[in-house]
Chain A
Amino acid sequence: MRLSVGDLDDLSLGGVFLATGGGGDPYVSYLLAQQALAASDGVDLISADTLDDDAFVATIGGVGAPSVSLELLPSIGDPLKALRAFEAHVGRSVDALVAFEVGGGNSLVPLIAAAQSGLPVIDGDGMGRALPEAQMMTFPIAGISPTPALAIDYEGNAAMFDSGSAQTYERHIRAVTQAMGGMIIAVEHPMTGEALKSAVVRGTLSFSIDIGRILRERRGLAPQLLPALGAAFEQSQYGALVELYTGKVVDYASAIVGGYDVGKATLAPFDGDGASLTIDIRNEYLVARIGDHILASVPDLITVLDYETGTPINAERLRFGQRVTVVGVGCPDYYRTARALEVVAPRCFGFDFDYVPIEQRV
């Protein structure tokens, strides 16, 4: 599939849905991708399975506080600059780029570098959603090291990483991000085509476009959107979509704990009668429950839609009084393996319960 400027609206909107509250506002990355694509003949979005086993692939994306890039704006040349510096550092040319995660600006950063370099982008990503930490990506779970990796800041200063584990890399790149102004572009997870195929969550960029198209064409009351969204998810690797709750935000509190937005939202029915729903948040929406009854939890996807328009809402935009519909959907099978659950199960986020797939809960 050849991506062009016309696909970006749907890709961004669908990405916010799959980002489950995280990933930040894609607006500035969207503007840059728009220009980069308009100046190119488009970008090839290729299936991981068409890649040679000995091809050389790397992930690319932004790392940092989304709120910082509201002021420290990204530049259109940064992704390519990071890619070229990375290639010089590892002494090898990259054959294809892959996104860290779907959602927010990070679905779009690979497209900017690809439009300028002519490289293809893999239709897939390392999360199938958004998650807060590097070791939670499918690639390190599959044993692929995130390093050697390279990050550049707004003025092209570079930092190289060679870390013993994904956890160490995560800790180091967070520290470096702060020292580099709060937002950087990183190229990481150098891997072969064969390694990529063992771990990538397939088809997520084209699926974002499908979801974005449904949200755009059927924009309107969220409950009326759900049948069409549900049909799309039913046929995908995510499985059935479930409406968890419709109501308004009656309490919302968040604080920074260990560098994350940690918070809790409480929702009540519009007319005030009935049980309330709580959502635990750590950058992403992690757990939805009514009383002690858990309806859905990470790594399954929980997404909050604006009730009036069906537009998905990032966690940082959630506010008291907002009228919303909450939906849940299963995660890709990869995240349900024992190995993946070691790093993405609810306990990894400090919750005191085990993961139960959403279809067994609801």
Chain B
Amino acid sequence: MRRIGIDVGGTHTDAVLLEGDAVIATTKALTSTDVLTGIMTALETLIDDTAFDPTEIEAVMLGTTQFTNAVIERRELTEVAAIRIGMPSGDGLPPKVGWPDDIAGALGDRVYMLRGGYLYDGRPIAKPHEREIERVVDDLVDKRVEAVAISSAFSPMNPEPELELARRIEEALPDTRITMSHRIGRLGLLERENAALLNASLLSFADGVVTAFIEAIRARGLMCRFFVSQNDGTLMDAEFARQFPALTFASGPTNSLRGASRLTGLDDAIVIDIGGTTSDIGVLQGGFPRESNVVIEVGGVRTNFRMPDILAIGLGGGSLVARGGMSVGPRSVGHRLVDEAMVFGGDTLTATDIAVAEGAAEIGDPGYVAELGGDTIASARATMNDMLARGVDTMSPGEQPLPVVLVGGGAILASSFDTAGPLVHPEQAGVANAIGAAIAQIGGEAERLVPYDEQNRDANLQQICELATAQALRAGARPDTLRVADIEETAMSYMDGNMARVRVKVVGEIAGLGAPASEAAR
């Protein structure tokens, strides 16, 4: 089968055409302000270069930073009514508490707190008040609210209060878009509610992006299915993406790691993605990124999305080389590399110039760096290798040295990097992100707080696996390819009866598509 992966980055939009595991063609275009033009330029180049028959393409996968950037730049956000069910608990901690003023303001000032929700042991916090609910729904109708985020205490364990309120609002306001927190986040009410609010505020933008993209690929004769990549390395289909745009946050680093895994066939490795300004070092565990466990802020708002654990160090292709090579970075000429670097006739010595002077790269005109002193080159090389070595040591999980995979446009900087494990610099390393998007799978996740001891552990675990499987099937996974990718068990302190928080992730191939060769062989 053939698929196309597209990665929209800050500078470049990359596209790749894959046949099974094999990369048939790759292309790079500049990312345009409207994003879509850049995507179409990349697609058209790919079509022209390969002269493939568009009807043979089975799917297009898009990895994009548009929704993250909309939150960071406070663009394209719509007002959202925030409704929390959990009173009398949480009085004084209303939705959007602790948010930066500008983004809180962008979402408007409609905030409601209702009685209800559940406790850790499944008992209700309070009986809902019918009149209270009526008043809120009437107010939403009155104000013609277009987007609503609903959260409820312990809703990952019992979503009924969120579902019931959503039904009431749908009855009264059939066109209003609703995000329920239990569909988007895990335990941690404030962070889950924040995720639901950001998501709801992006729904209208997501509709526009998805519709425009589908129209554009259809206009090029691509009548296939279309998916968007999520932060956990799995895909969502177009309809799901319209409902959950916030799940694309941080999908870029994930795609880069997953692409590196596919390019090298390695499931466990350190991956260095070298760009213009930084090197992002991540870790592959079992073919997926190792995840960070800290609270992740998106645009200054705390969320509890799972994001890859990335160490960014200030070394990239545009990094400034100073003090005779003793210092490299963190300052960088960034995208002005093509004007300011010496190999392009500029007068700034950059990391790229060192790589060209060493003969490790063919970029610009090597004549401009022919006069560069051998001491400076050797010293800068030692500095860069030392920076990378420290980063890799820091990220390495255990005593056994892991292979190090180089990807990204600046990967040539590290070609003589000396590591304990093997150094792998795959061909097509420059488009690893787009490949990562193309090969992503469909996943499902479930999380519950359960009594947990030797007697009921297996039964509870099986039940949570079934919930995760059901979610993966709803998202469009093929039943015979599903496997449990991750089980996380967190014990709860100060509780008898061994309560534990258990989270299960299930992944599989997209239903209706053939599995790539290496997946099928596993």
Contacts and interface: CB of A to CB of B under 8 A. Distances in A.
Interface of A: 27-28, 31-32, 35, 63-68, 70-77, 154-156, 174-175, 177-178, 181-182, 248, 250, 254-256, 259-261, 268, 270-272, 283, 307-308, 316-317, 319-323
A73 B293 CA distance: 21
Interface string B95-124: 001100000000000000000000111010
A316 B493 contact: yes
A256 B491 contact: yes
A307 B394 contact: yes
B393 interface: yes
B227 interface: no
Given A71-B188, A259-B493, A181 B119 contact: yes
13 contacts: A31-B98, A66-B493, A71-B154, A74-B90, A75-B92, A154-B89, A182-B119, A248-B397, A255-B491, A256-B491, A256-B498, A261-B491, A270-B393
A73 B89 contact: yes
B120 A71 contact: yes
Nearest to A75: B91
Given A256-B491, A268-B399, A319-B293, 15 more contacts: A65-B120, A65-B493, A65-B494, A68-B120, A68-B492, A71-B187, A73-B89, A73-B190, A75-B90, A76-B93, A182-B494, A261-B491, A316-B493, A317-B294, A322-B293
Contact of A72 (B125, B395, B398, B500): B125
Contact of B86 (A65, A73, A77, A182): A73
Nearest to B98: A31
B79 interface: no
Contacts of A63: 494
Interface string B177-191: 000000000011110
Contacts of B501: 67
Contacts of B490: 67, 316
A221 to B, nearest CB: 11
B145 interface: no
B492 A256 contact: yes
Contacts of B491: 254-256, 261
Interface in B478-506: 490-496, 498-501
A67 B492 contact: yes
Among B153, B190, B396, B491, the one with the most A-chain Cβ atoms within 10 Å of its Cβ is B491
B91 A76 contact: yes
Interface string B265-291: 000000000000000000100000010
A28 B153 CA distance: 15
A65 B495 contact: yes
B338 interface: no
A316 B294 CA distance: 11
B97 A31 contact: yes
Contacts of A28: 93, 190
Contacts of B283: 321
Contacts of A320: 397
A260 B494 CA distance: 5
Nearest to B400: A272
B309 interface: yes
A178 B496 contact: yes
Nearest to B311: A308
**Contact-residue size bin, chain B (C-beta under 8 Å from the other chain):** 35 or more
6 tightest A-B CB contacts, nearest first: A76-B92, A73-B90, A75-B91, A256-B491, A270-B393, A154-B89
A250 B397 contact: yes
The dominant DSSP class at the B interface is loop
Contacts, number: 144
A182 B290 CA distance: 32
A283 B187 contact: no
Contacts of A156: 88
Contacts of B311: 308
A23 B490 CA distance: 17
A35 B390 CA distance: 43
Given A71-B188, A256-B495, A181 B394 contact: no
Contacts of B93: 28, 31-32, 73-76
Contacts of B119: 72, 181-182
Contact of B293 (A70, A76, A317): A317
Given A67-B492, A71-B120, A154 B88 contact: yes
B369 interface: no
A68 to B, nearest CB: 5
Contact of B120 (A27, A182, A322): A182
Nearest to A68: B120
B475 interface: no
Contact of A321 (B395, B499, B500): B395
Contacts of B90: 73-75
B195 to A, nearest CB: 14
A182 B501 CA distance: 14
B126 interface: yes
Given A35-B92, A70-B188, A181 B125 contact: yes
B189 A283 contact: no
A75 B394 contact: no
Nearest to A251: B398
B399 A250 contact: yes
A256 B493 contact: yes
A321 B397 contact: yes
B493 A71 contact: no
Contacts of B91: 75-77
A88 B500 CA distance: 38
A66 B495 CA distance: 10
A74 B89 CA distance: 6
A222 B90 CA distance: 35
A161 B407 CA distance: 63
B500 A256 contact: yes
A271 B393 contact: yes
B386 to A, nearest CB: 13
Interface in B360-412: 390, 393-401
A29 B123 CA distance: 24
Contacts of A316: 490, 493
A248 B311 CA distance: 14
A181 B97 CA distance: 23
A246 to B, nearest CB: 11
Interface string B121-156: 101011000000000000000000000000001100
A316 B88 CA distance: 27
A178 B119 CA distance: 10
Interface string B302-314: 1000000101000
Nearest to B87: A75
A258 to B, nearest CB: 8
A70 B189 contact: yes
Contacts of A31: 92-93, 97-98
